[in-house]
């Protein structure tokens, strides 16, 4: 794949800022963005279509999440403190510049810890309209457990090929108990120039379970992304959907994130409006599960936090992380 096609920033290559009050036209203006960032939803759709067992597990997880959130809202469940998730980084590099230092990788872990605990320095930017819906501290923490490094001159990786030693990658380390985090130079799957993707909880503990991010998007010490690509993918790993769901104006199962017609890009100005079902709403584009640039996203919502807690609960699909 030609370098000309590479995205110039981890969350957007055209640096487009949608005009305010776009209404129904917003989806059309941003139709190109969805094809250039995160492939998690597309990969999941194909997997669910082709694997009845995985589909059954998906439905079971959604039922468990809905029940957990209902019980939580009724005061039946109390949070049980922070959960520290060990992270195994599987770094595959083709040139020295891609062989990220321990400090760069730790910087990415620090970004995850700040974003998941709402201690990120830019959280004060949340508009007053959305401050009541901010997640606050999710009680999820990450600890760098191990870094596996491997040289491979390969210049592009197809879907999941980086996850098998038999195809030149690195096998996952006990994925039921660790977040496996693969770092590669380029990803080519479904969509050109994918910058990252993740498995959802129905894949918990399987050989391919974890997140993948390209090297130039890892950590804020890199030039691109501010480390938020990994935050976005960890959101998927913990059962969060894109704000527009799987398709435009679809359900992300979070009542406090406004229905959204399509991805947002660039660095939008607040307020930004979109229309779903004939209703125009102010959009929560600064949410980590949108596609805006890394320094324009800085929050999860309260309902997203509840879904995260359901995922790592003692009866949740990622209980093994405990």
pLDDT band at 19, cuts 50/70/90? very low
Sheet hosting strand 179-184, strand order edge to edge = 140-151, 83-93, 179-184, 211-214, 196-198
pLDDT tops 90 at residue 224: no
The region of weakest confidence among 2-11, 36-45, 51-60, 235-244 is 2-11
pLDDT band at 297, cuts 50/70/90? very high
Query: What average pLDDT does range 42-48 have in this prediction?
Result: 93
pLDDT at 223: 64
Helix, strand or coil for residue 212?
A: strand
- Evaluate whether 186 touches 157 at the Cβ level (below 8 Å): yes
Query: What average pLDDT does range 11-34 have in this prediction?
Result: 41
pLDDT tops 50 at residue 310: yes
pLDDT tops 80 at residue 25: no
pLDDT tops 70 at residue 78: no
Mean pLDDT of the chain: 88
pLDDT at 30: 46
The region of weakest confidence among 19-28, 64-73, 76-85 is 19-28
β-partners of residue 281 are 274
Residue 280 to residue 137: CA distance in whole angstroms: 30
Q: Which of 98, 114, 202, 233 is catalytic?
A: 233
Highest mean pLDDT among 36-50, 72-86, 201-215 belongs to: 201-215
pLDDT at 191: 59
Whether 233 is catalytic is yes
pLDDT at 321: 92
HSE toward the beta carbon, residue 82, CA cutoff 13 A: 13
Give the CA-trace dihedral at 306, 271, 33, 208, to 10 degrees.
-10
Residue 113 to residue 141: CA distance in whole angstroms: 5
* DSSP for residue 217: G
Residue 261 to residue 273: CA distance in whole angstroms: 10
The model carries a pTM of: 0.83
- Evaluate whether 289 touches 241 at the Cβ level (below 8 Å): yes
pLDDT band at 181, cuts 50/70/90? very high
Query: What average pLDDT does range 201-225 have in this prediction?
Result: 92
187-189 vs 273-276, strand pairing mode: unpaired
Identify the CA nearest to 37 among candidates 13, 2, 4.
13
pLDDT band at 37, cuts 50/70/90? confident
Query: What average pLDDT does range 293-299 have in this prediction?
Result: 96
* CA angle at 185 for the pair 31 and 191, rounded to the nearest 5°: 25
Residue 258 to residue 244: CA distance in whole angstroms: 9
For residues 130 and 18, the model is more confident at 130
140-151 vs 83-93, strand pairing mode: parallel
Q: Give, in order, the Cα–Cα distances in Å from 282 to each of 43, 127, 191, 286.
A: 29, 11, 29, 11
pLDDT at 117: 96
């Amino acid at each position: 794949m030609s370098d000309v096609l590479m995205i110039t920033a981890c969350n957007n290559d055209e640096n487009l800022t949608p005009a305010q009050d776009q209404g129904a036209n917003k989806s059309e203006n941003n139709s190109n963005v969805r094809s250039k960032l995160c492939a998690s939803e597309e990969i999941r759709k194909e997997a669910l279509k082709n694997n009845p067992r995985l589909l059954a597990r998906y439905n079971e997880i959604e039922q468990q999440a809905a029940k957990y959130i209902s019980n939580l809202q009724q005061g039946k469940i109390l949070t049980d403190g922070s959960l520290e998730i060990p992270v195994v980084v599987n770094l595959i590099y083709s040139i020295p510049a891609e062989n990220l230092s321990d400090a760069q990788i730790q910087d990415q872990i620090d970004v995850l810890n700040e974003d998941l605990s709402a201690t990120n320095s830019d959280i004060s930017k949340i508009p007053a309209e959305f401050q009541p819906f901010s997640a606050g501290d999710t009680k999820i923490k990450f600890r760098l457990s191990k870094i596996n490094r491997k040289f491979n001159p390969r210049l592009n990786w197809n879907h999941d090929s980086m996850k098998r030693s038999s195809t030149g990658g690195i096998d996952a380390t006990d994925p039921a108990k660790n977040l496996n985090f693969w770092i590669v130079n380029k990803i080519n799957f479904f969509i050109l120039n994918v910058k990252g993707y993740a498995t959802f909880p129905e894949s918990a503990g399987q050989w391919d379970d974890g997140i993948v991010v390209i090297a130039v998007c890892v950590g804020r010490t890199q030039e691109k992304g501010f480390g938020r690509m990994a935050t976005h993918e960890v959101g998927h790993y913990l059962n969060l959907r894109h704000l527009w769901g799987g398709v435009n104006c679809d359900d992300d199962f979070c009542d406090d994130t406004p229905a959204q017609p399509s991805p947002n890009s660039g660095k939008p100005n607040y307020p930004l409006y979109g229309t779903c079902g004939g209703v125009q709403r102010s959009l929560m584009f600064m949410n980590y599960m949108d596609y805006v640039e890394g320094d324009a996203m800085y929050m999860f919502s309260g309902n997203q936090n509840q879904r995260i807690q359901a995922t790592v609960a003692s009866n949740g699909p990622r209980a093994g992380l405990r």
